Amino acid sequence: MKIKPKSLAVAISVFTCLMLCELMTRLLAPPWLHQRMAVLTARGESPDGVGTDRQWKVERKNGRFFSFTPQQSFDVLHDEYHNVAHIDELGGRRTVIDGNLRSSLIVMLGDSFTFGVGVKDTETFVNIIATRIPQYRFINLGVPGSALPQQLDILRERQDELKPIAYVFFFFLGNDFADILQSSNIMAYDPLDDFLRKVDDQICRNYLLEHSYSIQVICASLPISVVATRPWFELPRDPVFYVMDRSMARYQQLAAAALANQLRTLADLQRSMHFKSIIVAVPDVNQLSNRHRKLQADSYGVPFAQLEASRPNAILAREVQEADLLLFDPTPCMGTSVPEMEALYYRHDNHFRPLGHEIFANCVTKEIAKLLSKEASK
């Protein structure tokens, strides 16, 4: 087959233009783009076994997570910490117990903050609370990567077995909105969005193409409705910035609607199964630290004045009130606990350090004790 000189010239011209465009984009790349490319590079170079949960044995029912396999232990690894987590006979992370108080169980549900990624068994805020309210047995059923949809599945499966007198749900304001939105069917079908999602899948998520600076500029301009249901770790920004950003009203509407559905389900389960519950907010470091938020905002190219740190709290409070459920928000308490908020969180991993767990427990123990005392007086 003979290639016409004219066609070859056109192909060379197009290729040259694309290469020049890529070169100029790299030379003039803003800070947020350098940050994005660094994240993509780090994701590809992450050493096997570091920061993963591959060795964590779990039990499943109907294909869904039920509990960790009881009476096991496993490493929790990251560049900033290395701890061993021990699992008790009920499939939750071990806490201090005073005897076998099976008749006075309090189930704590949440994500990796609740589980205690980054700290020892004795340093988790669940364990600290358990030592301060010893008349109850607190079960730590925190599961890294979970949010309300998965936690409600655990509740349904284990309510008859455990029969706790109360559930405490810990809602991480950093990424639980994104996790719930990802699990939802809240997005109405739109032909253009559907087409753009396919573009996002085939180009923006392509292992080779995603490392192009110019491709990332194009992908960053996609409507938020296209990427809203992506896992939080695939989003171009830390997910809390979508909820703090005043210009992201569409994302916040979708996230609030998805959250409202889950809260209605919790309220229905509470009425039908006759248990009490409370939702406790867990603040993100970007909400508590102005310096940290400013550095991240600059790296994303987001005006700092456009961010409202308490916006996630307000959305959560509004939806919980609408569902007629209980909420406690310790963010103000934590915000005045230490001079430097970064002392509470790991620098890169962003989970609580041991001090963060201690301060968080200081802020929430009285509120949880108040809920339990009301139940005991009935």
**Contact in structure between 81 and 346 (CB atoms under 8 Å):** yes
Q: Give the domain ranges of the chain.
A: 58-181+259-297+311-376
378 pLDDT higher than 50: yes
φ, ψ at 177 (rounded to 5°):
-60, -45
Residue whose entry in the numeric block shows the structure tokens 């609370």 = 129
Q: What is the pLDDT of residue 233?
A: 65
What token pair was written down for 231? 């896992």
**Contact in structure between 287 and 310 (CB atoms under 8 Å):** yes
The model's pLDDT over 62-111, given as tens digits with 9 standing for 90+, comes to: 888 999 999 999 999 988 999 999 999 999 999 987 555 555 899 999 99
Q: What is the pLDDT of residue 209?
A: 79
Domain 58-181+259-297+311-376 -> CATH class:
alpha beta
- Per the model's pLDDT, the better-predicted residue between 239 and 203 turns out to be 239
Q: What is the pLDDT of residue 301?
A: 82
Give the predicted TM-score (pTM) of the model: 0.85
Q: What is the pLDDT of residue 48?
A: 41
The model's pLDDT over 320-366, given as tens digits with 9 standing for 90+, comes to: 999 999 999 999 999 888 888 889 999 888 999 999 999 999 999 99
Strand order in the sheet with 166-172: 137-140, 105-109, 166-172, 276-282, 327-328
- Please give the mean pLDDT across all residues of the chain: 86
- Quickly state the pLDDT bin for 276 (edges 50, 70, 90): very high
